[in-house]
Amino acid sequence: MDLFFFSLFAFIALICAVNVVLQKHPISSALSLVGVMGSLAVLYLLLGAEFVAMAQVIVYAGAVMVLFIFVIMLLNAGIEEHRGRSWIAKLLGFPAFVALLGLLCWFVQRFFPNTGFVKFGDFTGGGAQEIGYALFTEYLLPFEVTSVLILIAIIGAIVLARKELD
């Protein structure tokens, strides 16, 4: 069952990721990216990370992608035009990329051979309670610094995107 769910959602994630890159229109890329994020959320659940899976759906597939789609619609981004690339890039790009992916798979399988198995229910330390406990004890300082970071980001976004007032 684990194998079935992993294969299904890994397949969906890979197809959607390739679609993000290959689609000509930014809206299609954005919707494919939502597919990647949704299937990654399921994989997080399989790995016992319930809180992160929920945060993934709410923050990434919800908030960040809405922001992306909002900007795409605001700027009326259309199909991107393709300039000519050098013939060597056209000829060798795709085979070299596939070779790189194959090499990467071989590398990971070769150097992480006995990493144990992922079975649903093996690890139950990823709920909101455990995350919250670790966040407010061991990782309190990073957590507080994060709030400052978000404040800076909000102010920066407002300053960058506002209309110039005369």
Partner 1 sequence: MDPSQALEMLKNGVPTSWYLTLSALLFSIGVAGFMIRRNIITVFMCIELMLNAVNLSFIAFAHQHKQVSGHLFTFFVMVVAAAEAAVGLAIILTVFKNRSTLNIDEINTLKN
Q: Counting Cβ atoms within 10 Å, is residue 63 exposed (0-12), middle (13-18) or buried (19+)?
A: exposed
Name the DSSP letter for residue 25. Answer: S
Degrees, nearest 5: CA angle 10-13-19: 140
Shortest approach of partner 1 to residue 57 CB, angstroms? 11
Task: Give the CA distances from residue 110 to residues 6, 7, 88, in Å, rounded to whole numbers and listed in that order.
Answer: 20, 20, 31
C-beta of 91 vs 142, nearer to partner 1:
142
Shortest approach of partner 1 to residue 123 CB, angstroms? 5
Name the DSSP letter for residue 134. Answer: H
Shortest approach of partner 1 to residue 165 CB, angstroms? 15
Element at 108 (helix H, strand E): helix 87-111
Shortest approach of partner 1 to residue 6 CB, angstroms? 5
